[in-house]
Amino acid sequence: MPRTTLKDVGARVGVSAKTVSNVVNGTGWVTDEVADRVRAAMAELGYRPNLAARQLRSGRSGMIALALPQLAQPYFAELASQLVRAAHERGITVLIQQTDSDVEAERRILSGIGAPAVDGLIMSPLTLGPADLYARTDPTPLLLLGEQAGASPYPHVAVDNTAAGQAATEHLLGLGRRRVAALGAMESEPRRAADLRLTGYRRGLEAAGLELDERLVLPVVDYQRADGAAAARQLLESDVRPDAIFAFSDLLALGAMHELLVAGVRVPEDIAVIGFDDIEESRYSTPSLSSVSPDTSSLARTAVELLLADPPVPGNHTVDFTIVERASTRRAET
Amino acid sequence: MPRTTLKDVGARVGVSAKTVSNVVNGTGWVTDEVADRVRAAMAELGYRPNLAARQLRSGRSGMIALALPQLAQPYFAELASQLVRAAHERGITVLIQQTDSDVEAERRILSGIGAPAVDGLIMSPLTLGPADLYARTDPTPLLLLGEQAGASPYPHVAVDNTAAGQAATEHLLGLGRRRVAALGAMESEPRRAADLRLTGYRRGLEAAGLELDERLVLPVVDYQRADGAAAARQLLESDVRPDAIFAFSDLLALGAMHELLVAGVRVPEDIAVIGFDDIEESRYSTPSLSSVSPDTSSLARTAVELLLADPPVPGNHTVDFTIVERASTRRAET
């Protein structure tokens, strides 16, 4: 039996093969009524798109893969949503994979082994380094998010972490705070983004003529709420007394703020707090949390564009950020 | 040139084809050192797994698809993480797609058209109804999460929303509260889960011999923080004064709580608040949020098991829930 074609389906409904193709691919503009009839005809005629054939013809599968460390981290979940939308605007489906920050999982995805055929891979690696990236042999276009991986032959998109770290620190100094703590230093890998933010913090202090007090640099092992809460508990038990905290993620900030508030420390009166990522949760915490807000929507659009650019445009592409001031750093009335 | 096989790669490294297969599929237990040598040999010999052939041989691709409405909703992101882990325990890769609650996207995914070949599809539909599900012709095994879709020929896994709604209401009544508001009623589709929770709320009131005050049933259009905040603002402007709120999602509860606190209403002293979903954020809000906690880890394991069960086990499978009491409903000391 010959395979049912787009044309066969179109003939049954009385529309063009192109219209059927639009329904199949979710492209163009088709009324609900026509789309319903096309789908009914496809079911009736047993139409199955010949993906392998389509791919051979066009060289495209219409799908890209996105590999992220942890969807339960709101920043990554919100970023994934933006990437899905940016790809959808170009008629592209995104298949998301969670690596759980596992080096084996990241290497497998990087190798393309055991993965569906896609037109490109967007990856935010946590454990991969230049050695892995330079050794890659898979020909699928690759775009990296963030700066964890360091140097590589692939394009990557990130916010300027150093400039953002300095801006956050200067925001706190601008409120008249003089003992600004940096919450989120990393003593082991993956530490690259943390180191860049810490450099920004140092520059902010230097520009204000302030000495760095190493006791105000608070290390963590991860960027979750629990890590921020643990650091705040340690702080409360010590005799170190900051008057502001720059946390390297909103989750760290929210975890720390919760512990401070429960202990009776007032935010922002006693300690002003600013986070990093501007996740939606920060708009609804009490007090609402100030944050470094990367232009995630521009990051998503840039990532999809660069991934599909032919020829590829290697090197670092930075996106803008803003400092969003909310109640956690609002200047007290005097 | 003959295609490089697992055996060729194994011979080069001096390990079995099975060990190479374990590296390719991320199964079994292989030392980092051996895995590195296997990968180097695969790159050197130009090994590419023949997915289509493997699939024809085994009838399995080793991948399943997961379609969720919105990854930026923490409940779905946390659920996706759990499903990825449950599948990984069985050596299965999960490809996640976000439908954005769009009826066209949900129908395309349901049809399998334009999608990668997978061994099964787990879907949490928001817009699909029995008509869509009974008309489905794609033979890929399907498992539904939640109860939005209603009756269908496919297995579905969900928490018992009615029992959970009643338990949450009784928790508030057990604190001595008598004017319990229900925040999250839906006046249009998708409203099925909301209706079940509302039924539970009514039953809780009835069991306590309380009359339902319709003014305490607060409708929303969606389950986001912004919807909870808007409902709380309306409440504050009205002369309706509940002494407790049962919100049908944690996001609704967190949005409402923020508005109440900013307006000077004390939680739990003036209004006790309980949510639904037990997302991690609720442990770190101030006050921390009590919540109905579905056993998400059991839900994820059950979903993967049922999806791959042969023959399929249709019908509804419920998972347990608990009421987690936190500061937002803690009994005031008297």
Whole-number pLDDT of residue B304: 96
Per-residue pLDDT band for B49 (boundaries 50, 70, 90) equals low
CATH of B61-158+296-319, one of 3.20.20.70, 3.20.20.60, 3.40.50.2300, 2.170.120.20: 3.40.50.2300
A84, A157, A310, B164 from A302: Cα distances, Å: 13, 8, 14, 44
- How near does any CA of chain A get to the CA of B152, in Å? 18
Q: Does B137 touch chain A (CB under 8 A)?
A: yes
SS (HEC) of chain B: CCCCCHHHHHHHHCCCHHHHHHHHHCCCCCCHHHHHHHHHHHHHHCCCCCHHHHHHHHCCCCEEEEEECCCCCHHHHHHHHHHHHHHHCCCCEEEEEECCCCHHHHHHHHHCCCCCCCCCEEECCCCCCHHHHHCCCCCCCEEEECCCCCCCCCEEEEECHHHHHHHHHHHHHHCCCCCEEEEEEECCCCCHHHHHHHHHHHHHHHHCCCCCCHHHEEEECCCCHHHHHHHHHHHHHCCCCCCEEEECCHHHHHHHHHHHHHCCCCCCCCCEEEEECCCCHHHHCCCCCEEEEECHHHHHHHHHHHHHCCCCCCEEEEECEEEECCHHHCCCCC
Q: What interface predicted TM-score (ipTM) does this complex get? A: 0.83
Please state which CATH number belongs to domain B161-295+323-329. 3.40.50.2300
**pLDDT more than 90, % of chain B:** 67
* Residue in B80, B88, B95 nearest the CB of A95: B95
Q: Which of residues 174-213 of B touch A (CB under 8 A)?
A: none
Q: Does A298 touch chain B (CB under 8 A)?
A: no
Whole-number pLDDT of residue A334: 44
Q: Mutate one of A21, A37, A71 to test the B interface: name it (highest B CB count within 10 A).
A: A71
The domains of chain B are located at: 1-40, 61-158+296-319, 161-295+323-329
Q: Does B269 touch chain A (CB under 8 A)?
A: no
pLDDT digits (tens, 9 = 90+) for B255-289: 999 999 999 999 999 999 999 999 999 999 999 99
Average pLDDT along chain A, 334 residues, taken 10 residues at a time: 75 88 75 82 71 56 94 96 94 94 90 87 92 90 87 92 98 97 93 95 98 97 97 96 98 98 97 98 98 97 94 88 97 56
Cβ pair B77:A96 closer than 8 A: no
Q: Which of residues 142-171 of B touch A (CB under 8 A)?
A: none
Cβ pair B71:A80 closer than 8 A: yes
Cβ pair A72:B77 closer than 8 A: yes
Whole-number pLDDT of residue B26: 66
Per-residue pLDDT band for B59 (boundaries 50, 70, 90) equals low
- How near does any CA of chain A get to the CA of B308, in Å? 19
Per-residue pLDDT band for B148 (boundaries 50, 70, 90) equals confident
Identify the burial level of B103 via C-beta atoms within 10 angstroms of its C-beta, where 0-12 means exposed, 13-18 middle and 19 or more buried: middle
Cα separation of A138 and A152, whole Å? 15
- Identify all chain B residues contacting A68, using CB atoms and an 8 Å cutoff: none
- How near does any CA of chain A get to the CA of B57, in Å? 15
Cβ pair B98:A94 closer than 8 A: yes
- How near does any CA of chain A get to the CA of B89, in Å? 13
* Residue in B42, B77, B98 nearest the CB of A84: B98
Q: A143 near A156, Cβ under 8 Å?
A: yes
Cβ pair A116:B104 closer than 8 A: no
Q: Mutate one of B134, B286, B288, B297 to test the A interface: name it (highest A CB count within 10 A).
A: B286
* Residue in B39, B51, B135 nearest the CB of A43: B135
Q: Does B265 touch chain A (CB under 8 A)?
A: no
- How near does any CA of chain B get to the CA of A147, in Å? 23
Cβ pair A96:B100 closer than 8 A: no
Average pLDDT of the residues in B302-331? 92
Residue B115 has pLDDT above 90, yes or no: no
Q: Mutate one of B89, B106, B109, B113 to test the A interface: name it (highest A CB count within 10 A).
A: B113
* Residue in A62, A81, A115 nearest the CB of B71: A81
For residue A68, give every residue at least 6 positions away whose Cβ sits within 8 Å of its Cβ, in sequence order, or none: A76, A79, A80, A96, A97, A98, A99, A124
Q: In whole numbers, what is the pLDDT of chain B averaged over residues? A: 90
Average pLDDT of the residues in B197-213? 98
Whole-number pLDDT of residue A121: 97
pLDDT digits (tens, 9 = 90+) for B91-105: 999 999 999 989 989
- Identify all chain B residues contacting A225, using CB atoms and an 8 Å cutoff: 280-281, 283-284
Per-residue pLDDT band for B1 (boundaries 50, 70, 90) equals very low
Cα separation of A117 and A64, whole Å? 9
Token pair of B164 as six digits: 């959970």
Please state which CATH number belongs to domain A63-158+296-318. 3.40.50.2300
- How near does any CA of chain A get to the CA of B134, in Å? 12
Q: Does A286 touch chain B (CB under 8 A)?
A: yes
Whole-number pLDDT of residue B333: 46
Domains A63-158+296-318 and A161-295+323-329 share a fold: yes
Q: Does A85 touch chain B (CB under 8 A)?
A: yes
